[in-house]
Every structure is written in C-alpha cells, then in structure tokens.
Amino acid sequence: MIDPIQTVDLFPVLDQKLITLLRSLSSEEWQRNTVSPSWNIYDIALHLLDGNIRGISLGRDRHFGVAAEGTDTYVGLVSFLNQLNHDWVKAGQRISPPLLIHLLDLTNKEYFQYLKTLDPEAEALFPVAWAGEQTSPNWFHIAREYTEKYHHQQQIRQALGKEAELMTSFLYVPFMDTLIRALPHFYADQPANTGTTILIKVSDGNGQWYLTKNTHGWELYRSCPIHPSCSVTIDKRIAWRLFTKGISKEEALKYLDIQGKNELGIRLLDVVAVMAEVV
C-alpha cells in the first residue's frame, strides 16, 4: 500500500508565499473573480483565515462553537460546511485587506505550531471524509489541511496568472500525493476483475501511482508488478484542479491521455478530494 505522507513542514513555506502575494495586490486585484463560483480573491483569503481559526479553535482549544447538526451523512456534512463558509465570508467583508493579511500571518503561524504538536499516527479529531474514512490518522488530517491551503492559494494565483510559484515539485507532488488517496473510495463500485491495475501519472514527473483491485477492494501502490489495464497521464497544468472541482469534466477530459480500458480512466473525472457535492 501507499505510505503515509508528512506535509507539516511545508506549511510555513506555503503560507509565506501567500502572505507575500497578498501584500503585492492592488485594490482592483483583491476583487478579481476566481475559478471558485461566487468567490473573488478577497473571499478566498477570508476563507483561508477561517480555516486557520477553525483549526486552532477546534483542535487546540476544543471549542466547537456552532452545533454540527445534520452531519451524519456526507451530503449533510457538506451542506453544514457550505453554510459555515457562506456565513463567515459574508461577515468577513468588514475586514480590511491589510488587517486580513495581518490576521492570516498571525494565525498561519499559530496553526502550524499546533499541527507540529500532533502525533502523526494518533487518531485525528475529524476523519478525511472525501476519502471515505470513518477515522483517520493525524498525518492524513494534516495533509488534507495542506491541500486546502494549496488549492485555495492556487485559485488566487490562477486569477492573477501567477500559478507557476506553486508548481514546483517540492510543493506540488505532496499536494497530488494527498488528493490521489481519494481514488480507492471513488472507485469502490467500479466493476473490475481482481488484479486489474490502473497507472495514474501527472505529467513532467509530478507523481505516479498504481490503483489495483484486490479481493477486498481497490488500493493504491507506489509500484506494482502487474501490467496496467489502463494508463492515465494528467497534464500537470490542470491536475491540481481536477480533484478540487476547479474544472468541468468536459474540459478536464481534454487534458487526460487515457491508454487501454477507457472506462477505467474516465472514472477519474468523478473524483472529488475536497468537501464538496459529488455529482
């Protein structure tokens, strides 16, 4: 099986890149639309601040605030989180950009310090629901938080034409290595014979994984002796958007090179590795 991934030491690097970028924005750029429906750059920055504050309050301080009602199903949980996000961004319009940057810088550091205290193998406060897990270790929770910070910052950068800063393998490969762990869950009902293997690659050497059907389900591996029934290469320019609902299925298909059994490769378009509605 694929090994755990350690991402916590990447947080200060990623966070500082965000702060530097936000400090360079003009008033007009703060209001620029992004690929995220109904959110501009300012709104996404507010959402990132909310992620820090919630992470510190829930994890470090065990302050749960709003009662999580109707979250016993995935759909209910997504609906609850969407409402929290909406309420926060609406209230956050009162915060000026300079103050927002200051609060992000402050809470980035506090959240990182808290995450550093966690035992990577201990059970996380919340499971990684988009991977279909009922319980998750802290290393996976931390990696999930890394992907949240990465893809939202990249949404801001895309709106500005500055994506390249986060496309280095140092930051990009751990991001993809986390999102790819949603595949066994989303392929669970994909019919295939035991031993069927799919090779998934991100172009330019930005990650390679094998998804194999075993007697108890699909599992991810770093290497596999079985010749793949299907091979899928994803263009790195859109791979970060593919599993985060940042591109339509129709558009994403143009950037996938599928060799072999097409029905196995095409299923990648259904994978969602963020807390969002699955269509």
pLDDT, tens digit, for every residue of 54-65?
999 999 999 987
Give the tens place of pLDDT for each residue, 10-29. 999 999 999 999 999 999 99
Tell me if domain 8-166 and domain 182-270 are identical in fold.
no
Say which residue, 264 or 205, is predicted with more confidence.
264
Q: Which sequence spans correspond to the domains of the chain?
A: 8-166, 182-270
Q: What is the mean pLDDT of the chain?
A: 92
As a whole number of angstroms, the distance between CA 190 and CA 197 comes to 12
Cβ atoms within 10 Å of 81's Cβ, excluding its own? 16
State the pLDDT at residue 70. Answer: 65
Cβ atoms within 10 Å of 222's Cβ, excluding its own? 12
Give the tens place of pLDDT for each residue, 113-170. 999 999 999 999 999 999 999 999 999 999 999 999 999 999 999 999 999 999 999 9
CATH of 182-270, one of 3.60.9.10, 3.30.1050.10, 2.60.40.10, 3.30.70.380: 3.30.1050.10
The reply to whether the predicted model has a pTM over 0.85 is yes
- Which architecture, in CATH terms, is 8-166? Up-down Bundle (1.20)
Cβ atoms within 10 Å of 244's Cβ, excluding its own? 24
